[in-house]
Amino acid sequence: MKAFVDKDLCIGCGLCTELCPEVFEMDDDMLAEVIVDEIDDADADAAEDARESCPTEAITIE
């Protein structure tokens, strides 16, 4: 599985980085970015939680 953040939608709330720091970090512009090529199975549930919790639906997981 891969995660993507649409930075045009991200408002920098930081929720995804709190819920799943293994996959998401804040960049220098305080917008979320994905820091792994593939999501580990162990992090899949947390990444999905982050996707569902994002207030602007900026996160996509495929």
Q: Which is nearer to ligand SF4, 29 or 41 (CB)?
A: 29
Least CB distance from residue 43 to ligand SF4, whole Å?
Answer: 15
Which residues, 6+ apart, have CB-to-CB distance to 52 below 8 Å?
Answer: none
Q: Residue 56 and residue 37: Cα distance in Å, rounded?
A: 23
Least CB distance from residue 62 to ligand SF4, whole Å?
Answer: 16
Which residues in this chain contact ligand SF4 in the complex, by CB under 6 A?
5, 10-16, 32, 54-56, 58-59
| Structure tokens given for 33 | 């970015």
Least CB distance from residue 52 to ligand SF4, whole Å?
Answer: 10
